[in-house]
Amino acid sequence: MSNRLFAVIGAPGCGKGTLIKSLFGENSHVVPMSGMLINLRTHRDLGPIVTETMDSGALVPSEIVNKLFLKHWNEIYSEKKDIILDGVVRTEIQAEFVASLVSNEKNPGCVPREFHILHIDVPLKECQRRMIGRGRSDDSSQEIINRRFVYWEAFHRNTIACLRHHGFHYIGVDGNQTPEDVHKEAVEKIASFNSLSLK
């Protein structure tokens, strides 16, 4: 089954990128917000804001994130394939914007879709351990890593609740397993949900 939309959500270091790569094939379109923001670092006006916030571990303002997503969505909304939002929805403001934009009712030109939250749940201590070991430039200090978790803790519950309120179906996956087992659980839960929704 395709033509679904997944908002992939999880704490920094939970393995979103790894699962997305293993789970979704050619018949999908990934919207990678972190990569889009990194490309924006060279923008004359917005670059300094994006660079400062990302390098400090803070969240890029929702106005910038939403504008980036809107531009991308206008290019892909009619594609007959799964769309995966990687890091697009981090706050309630972003969740409200995305839910309104992708709505089947409000956007009749879109390909009709089922909407899902794919939440990769990993204990924060394990996420911190992974982040320290992966050597990414935006994880350059313990202070920055800690700040990223502060923002995650502050926003993720309301973000998930907002998406569920707008009709996104929740699929939780235990990310504290081997990548192979995380993949297997995600496949089984998505398949189980789709079989139930078709009855």
Average pLDDT over residues 100-116: 83
Range of the domain at 154: 4-197
For residue 113, what is the DSSP state? -
- In this prediction, residue 194 carries a pLDDT of 67
Residue 198: what pLDDT? 38
CATH number of the domain enclosing 144 = 3.40.50.300
Domain count for the chain: 1
Is residue 29 classed as helix, strand or coil in its secondary structure?
strand
Which residues are CB-contacts of 124 (< 8 A; sequence separation ≥ 6)? Answer: 11, 149, 152, 153
Tell me the per-residue pLDDT of 35-54, one tens digit each, with 9 for 90 and over.
888 888 888 888 898 888 88
Cα angle 164, 87, 93 (rounded to 5 degrees) comes to 55
CA 90 distance to own-chain centroid: 7
The values of phi and psi at residue 57, to 5°, are 90, 0
